[in-house]
């Protein structure tokens, strides 16, 4: 006798299934964009039925928002956790990026989705608030790290914190674009290593 719950397709249960669906969804959204991505495409690539996807995510918007949340929980919060272990500004900035690189070594779907989701936010007004939210989280982290460095005398007191924050945001998102669509993981590691040397003042 089939003892599965009614409406719960085979292989649809458990956190592992949800995580796999999210991984494939990040890949499909990054490759095709929000508008062209479909449940059917995601289900076929993940090896699940359409009802199995719907069991976890009722519609495409909820799946996209869950993908954004996975970025926040895994990449951004993970990067911040790496950063807080350091006491200096170079250490915190490098720690944040090293945390992201560690995630990239395990799952490369994050970097590509992060870069593509920024574009989706501009193309689709209904996504804008959510996609900009991940940028704002990183912006808050960078601004606080710079502010702490000013307060403890690590950097010059007249540092233009808002401008430097935006410069670092541009660099970091450029690294995300590089990681997702241009370079290999090994190349990304070297880029982050050299960036760490740059902010520590020992590159030149």
The reported pLDDT for the residue numbered 12 is 41
Residue 2: pLDDT band by 50, 70, 90 thresholds?
Answer: very low
Among 1-10, 109-118, 132-141, which is the least confidently predicted range? 1-10
Indicate whether 4 pLDDT > 50: no
Q: What confidence tens digit (pLDDT) does each residue in 7-60 have?
A: 334 444 457 889 999 999 999 999 999 999 999 999 999 998 888 888 899 999
The reported pLDDT for the residue numbered 58 is 92
The reported pLDDT for the residue numbered 132 is 85
Integer Cα distance of 105 and 78 in angstroms: 14
The reported pLDDT for the residue numbered 1 is 33
Indicate whether 204 pLDDT > 90: no
Cβ-in-10-Å burial (0-12, 13-18, 19+) of 92 comes to: buried
Integer Cα distance of 34 and 128 in angstroms: 12
Integer Cα distance of 202 and 26 in angstroms: 37
Angle of helix 89-106 versus helix 185-199 axis, rounded to 10:
180
Q: What confidence tens digit (pLDDT) does each residue in 136-178 have?
A: 999 999 999 999 999 999 999 999 999 999 999 999 888 888 8
The answer to whether residues 105 and 135 touch, using CB atoms and an 8 Å cutoff, is: no
Angle of helix 15-36 versus helix 60-71 axis, rounded to 10:
110
């Amino acid at each position: 006798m089939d003892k599965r719950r009614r409406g719960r397709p085979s292989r649809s249960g458990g956190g592992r299934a949800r995580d796999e669906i999210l991984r494939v969804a990040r890949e499909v959204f990054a490759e095709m964009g929000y508008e062209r991505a479909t449940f059917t495409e995601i289900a076929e690539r993940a090896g699940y039925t359409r009802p199995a996807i719907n069991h976890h995510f009722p519609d495409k918007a909820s799946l996209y928002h869950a993908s954004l949340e996975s970025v926040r929980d895994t990449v951004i919060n993970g990067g911040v956790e790496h950063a807080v272990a350091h006491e200096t500004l170079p250490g915190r900035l490098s720690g944040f990026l090293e945390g992201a690189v560690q995630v990239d070594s395990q799952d490369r779907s994050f970097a590509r989705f992060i870069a593509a989701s920024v574009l989706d936010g501009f193309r689709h007004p209904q996504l804008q608030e959510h996609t900009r939210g991940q940028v704002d989280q990183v912006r808050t982290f960078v601004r606080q790290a710079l502010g702490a460095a000013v307060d403890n005398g690590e950097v010059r007191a007249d540092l233009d914190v808002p401008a430097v924050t935006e410069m670092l945001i541009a660099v970091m998102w450029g690294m995300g674009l590089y990681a997702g669509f241009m370079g290999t993981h090994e190349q990304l590691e070297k880029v982050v290593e050299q960036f760490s040397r740059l902010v520590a003042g020992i590159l030149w």
